[in-house]
Structure 1
Amino acid sequence: MAIDFTLTPAQREIQRGAREFAQEVLAPITAAVDEEPDPLTGFQMLKPAYTEACKLGMSWAMLPKEYGGGGLSNVDFVIAAEEIQAVDPGFGTTLLVNGLGLMPVWYYGTEEQKRRFISRATSDASGEFIVGYAASEPPGSPGGTANFDAPAVDGAGMAVTATRDGDEYVLNGRKYWPCNVAGWDMQGANLNLVVVRTDSSVGGTEGLSAIIVERGTPGVTYGMISTSGQRSAPNGEITFDNARVPAENLIEGTAGNGDLLINRNFAWSGPVAGIGAVAIARSAYEAALEFAKTYTAGGPKPIINYQYPGYVLGDVAAKIDAARAYCFKTAHYLDTHDYHGELIGAMNKVLCSEMLFDCVYKCMQVVGVNSLDKKYPFHRWLREAAVFPLYDAGNFGMQRRRVHGVMADPSFDPRAVMNHEFVPFTKEMEGIGTVPGRTK
């Protein structure tokens, strides 16, 4: 039975390097970034850390070596991501989004596009190159992103359009919430992968594509969003006003398949978000355990010696360990199924992110009212715990629908994941439970 949770020497080195970076580079500035009221200033405070991450190969670790990336497996990437996100999940998101922006180029691009975009990022020596991924759109009626795969013409929420005009596409509309897109100076990331509607006559399962918008493109403006959690992750907005983008920037295999790209992207990020939840729960657990071993509450011995703290922390530890194992399983599934894991990736993200809130709050109950004292980081961990079920394709907006669509399909084998068998994801599995709209 080929199951062994013992890290290899190489994996231990990855873990050690990521932990040292997190403790020595991120930890000294994390609190200040979290408290900085201006989101752009807070993000800019992390620029030296990002430059160091680039030097260490972390920014492009998930990309193939063939194009200058680190070539880490998904399992290896998850090991590193836990250590970084245990200190700052927002910085982990910034690195993750580099992958969300460029992995689709690897999956669906031509050889020329892979070298033009991926190799350009990985060969940059400035330590500032950053990539955004823009799918989310602002709420409205119709609007938002969760309804993006509704089969009806006006049922889909993806409204940024890209109209072909000769050798260019003309982009119009607005994206809201995407990470990294504004870059370090509100002038744009070096590259932004933008999901656009290239065919407005059909629904989201047919009319979406992905195109690379390069920094400096006229007609594109950016804004920043001030968030309550993951404040170090630069969430922003993009407005396109007749922005002209070369037609050769449309990622070839995504033409009419932007819906499948979105689902595949969020399947890949599932175990990374999942391990982020594990990481924050781990931090809260270790802090609560240390508190319980030193705090007596006026009694004769530390509170760890009493049943309630001991039982609660034991339950929390078990949930963290189980969730970590599920992240490893999901990452391994992606590694062995051509980076497809639309079902297990969604289940992983839902389970771990909803475990997180429960674990953090139980740790706060052990610490008691002292957990509200801002000299402890519980206030930040609680806010981070609230973020995870809502971001990275929200659990109720998109993740559970993907699981639902797969399970409802007549071909679904409920034992496929258990048996480590490939579970296909097709257009026929999309759109289940979406808001109906006008048909063609």
Structure 2
Amino acid sequence: MSFIETDEQKSLRQAVAALASKYPYLDYVLPKARNHEPLRELWDEAGKLGFLGVNLPEEYGGGGAGMYELALVMEELAAQGAGLLLMVVSPAICGTIITRYGTEEQKREWLTKLADGSATMVFGITEPDAGSNSHQITTTARRDGGDWILNGRKVYISGVDQAEAVLIVARTEDHRTGKLKPALFIVPTDAPGFEKTAQEMDIIEPDTQFTLFLDDVRLPATALVGSEDAALMQLFAGLNPERIMGAAMAVGMGRYALDRAVAYARERTVWKTPIGAHQGIAHPLAQAKVEVELAKLMMQKAAVLYDTGDEMGAAEAANMAKYAAGEASIKALDQAVQTHGGAGLTKEVGLASMLAAARIARIAPVSREMVLNFVAQHSLGLPKSY
């Protein structure tokens, strides 16, 4: 792993930053978020420029790069307040799983559209009674002739109103053991028996969360992704990219907050001195900078390990990166609000609303407590606690 990015990666950063600068947080992103309107214009342009699918294979319209480059795109967008949440699920989770395990027909049908952003696929795993325990998922899939019939419920599914399909995690019955085991299905959002209900969240975000109801949703055999006997491994293939992308978004938000705070601290003068000259302001911002950069390094390490095929190393690093980035971004945003004083709580400045959104990083895509459980068990070798 090199700490010096290639010329291509540097150029990609510059190009993404240039795109994001056309969609300012205060003038574009925040008004959209307050109205719960997706960042459609930014998404479409990012897709046309090839940024959304940099990790997908070239033969299907992608950039042929890796998770490092996709995380780079997310970080640079978020660094200007314009992170795209659905990048986490559409090209990162769903695109990765279909690339690895999908049939040639599924790849041709979906990867090209995911790469240019002309179609979006979201991810449905969370259930009200399962929480972080994916082994307790109760959404079931049973065979009916050559078809599959799905029944169940999902919660906190992002962006279903923007998606053509949901990659649903269901469970099939193993007739040899009588046990239920996970399997992945591409479910069109217009399928009969598929219903979505918006969940009212108490945060300001462009993307809406949904509860999904699947009532005897009939799917053809071609809806199954990969093998019904290996879906747990297939499911995990999408979780490391999810954590890496979540970390990249949090790192970008932390950078955005620091940029805003530093600009204000340089200009705001009290008692004839810019407030940034005072250690009470400078030191907390410097500490936040250190912590954001450390989180970024772990995120980059996770992406490199993932791209080189080190699954276990990537899992450890991705969990650590997600934890570190979530904590660092919240601290940076909180200090940015504090630096602005009372102005930091105004609608005009717009930082307080982002602080609430950054709080998601401590909960999703996996809670910090479950990350600590992972590190305790797999990194430290301590007994499993759950």
8 Å contact from structure 2 (residues 77, 84) kept in 1: yes
SS at 2:273's partner residue?
coil
Q: Structure 1 residue 92 and structure 2 residue 84: aligned?
A: yes
- Which of 172, 178, 184 is equivalent to 2:157? 178
Residue 279 of structure 1 aligns to a residue in which SS?
A: helix
Tell me how far 1:199 sits from its aligned partner. 2.2
1:406 pairs with 2:385: no
> What does the per-residue CA deviation read over 1:111-151, in whole Å, with 9 as the maximum and x for residues that have no partner?
343334324544x7xx641111111112xxxx1331223xx
Using the TM superposition, give the Cα deviation of residue 206 of structure 1 relative to its aligned residue in structure 2, in angstroms.
6.1
Counterpart amino acid of residue 124 in structure 2: A
Distance 1:294 1:193, change over 3 A: same
Q: Which residue is 2:352 aligned to?
A: 379
| Partner SS, residue 141 of structure 2 | strand
Distance 1:218 1:265 in 2: 27
Query: Per-residue deviation at 1:172?
Result: 0.8
Flag the 1:81–1:69 CA change in 2: closer, same or farther, 3 A.
same
Post-superposition CA distance 1:303-350 (Å, at most 9, x none): 112221121121111112222112111111111126662222111111
| SS of equivalent to 2:134 | coil
The one-letter code sitting in structure 2 at the alignment partner of 1:236 is: F
In 2, are the aligned partners of 1:51 and 1:128 still within 8 Å (CA)?
yes
- Work out whether 1:63 is the aligned partner of 2:61: no
* Distance in structure 1 (CA, Å) of the matches to 2:63 and 2:204: 25
Aligned equivalents of 2:184, 2:299: Cα separation in 1: 28
Instruction: Please give the residue correspondences for 1:8-87 in structure 2 after superposition, counting only pairs within 5 Å.
Output: 8-25=6-23, 27=25, 28-36=27-35, 39=36, 42-43=37-38, 46-87=39-80
Quick one: which amino acid aligns to residue 47 of structure 2?
C
Alignment of 1:388-407 (within 5 A): 388-396=361-369, 398-407=370-379
User: Partners in 2 of 1:191 and 1:108 — Cα distance?
Assistant: 17
Name the structure 1 match of 2:226: 252
Q: Which has the higher helix share?
A: 2
Specify which of 322, 328, 351 is matched with residue 324 of structure 2: 351
Distance in 1 of aligned mates of 2:133 and 2:317: 21
Q: What is the Cα deviation at residue 14 of structure 1?
A: 0.8
Residue 139 (structure 2) aligns with: 160
SS in 2 for 1:198: strand
Aligned residue in 1 for 2:247: 274
Q: Could you tell me which of 92, 96, 99 is aligned with 1:103?
A: 96
Q: Does 1:363 align with 2:353?
A: no
Shift of residue 70 of structure 1?
1.9
1:224 aligned residue: 198
Does residue 238 of structure 2 align to residue 239 of structure 1? Answer: no
Question: What's the C-alpha RMSD, in Å, of the aligned pairs?
Answer: 2.6
Q: Which moved more, 1:398-407 or 1:12-21?
A: 398-407
Cα deviation per residue 1:181-218 (whole Å; 9 max; x = unaligned)?
233xxxxx222210001128899x96111111124311
Deviation at 1:362, TM superposition (A): 2.4
In structure 2, what residue type is equivalent to 1:101?
A: C
Q: Aligned equivalents of 2:24 and 2:138: distance in 1? A: 37
Residues 117 and 363 of structure 1: is their aligned pair in 2 closer, same or farther, counting only changes over 3 Å? Answer: closer
Once residues 247 and 231 of structure 1 are traced to their aligned partners in structure 2, the CA distance between those partners, rounded to angstroms, is: 36
Contact 2:205 2:357 in 1 (8 A): no
Task: Look up the SS of the partner of 2:161 in the other structure.
Answer: coil
2:277 corresponds in structure 1 to 305
Matches within 5 A, 1:190-229: 190-199=164-173, 207-229=181-203
Instruction: Rate the CA distance shift 1:129–1:230 in 2: closer, same or farther, 3 A.
Output: farther
Query: How much does 1:26 deviate?
Result: 5.4
Note if contact 2:97-2:235 (Cα within 8 Å) is conserved in structure 1: no
Unaligned runs of 5+ in 1: 150-155, 184-188, 411-428, 435-440
**CA contact 1:212–1:249 (8 Å) conserved in 2:** yes
Q: Which residue of 1 aligns with 2:148?
A: 169
Distance 1:304 1:26, change over 3 A: closer
- Residues 401 and 195 of structure 1: is their aligned pair in 2 closer, same or farther, counting only changes over 3 Å? farther
Q: Is the 8 A contact 1:15 1:79 kept in 2?
A: yes
- Do the aligned partners of 1:85 and 1:280 also contact (CA within 8 Å) in 2? yes
TM-score by structure 1 length? 0.80
Say which SS state the counterpart of residue 85 (structure 2) adopts. Answer: helix
1:78-110 deviations in whole A, cap 9, x for unaligned?
A: 222111112346x52112211212211122223
Which amino acid in 2 is paired with 1:332? V
Contact 1:134 1:181 in 2 (8 A): no
Consecutive unaligned residues of structure 2, counting only runs of 5 or more, are none
1:147 aligns with 2:133: yes
Equivalent-residue separation in structure 2 for 1:81 and 1:164 (angstroms): 39
Letter in 1 for 2:87: L
How many residues of Structure 1 are paired with residues of Structure 2 in the alignment? 382
Aligned counterparts of 2:40 and 2:159: Cα–Cα separation in 1: 12
Aligned to 1:414: none
- SS of aligned partner of 1:211: strand
SS of aligned partner of 1:159: coil
**C-alpha separation between the residues in 1 aligned to 2:283 and 2:253?**
20
**Matches of 2:81 and 2:121, distance apart in 1:** 19
Asked if structure 2 preserves the Cα contact closer than 8 Å seen for 1:174 and 1:238, the reply is yes
Query: For the residues of structure 1 that align with 2:81 and 2:202, how far apart are their CA atoms?
Result: 14
Letter aligned with residue 402 of structure 1: F
2:123 matched residue in structure 1: 133
Report the TM-score, using the length of structure 2 for normalisation. 0.90
Shift in alpha-carbon separation, 1:111–1:86, aligned structure 2, 3 A: same
Q: Identify the structure with the greater strand proportion.
A: 2
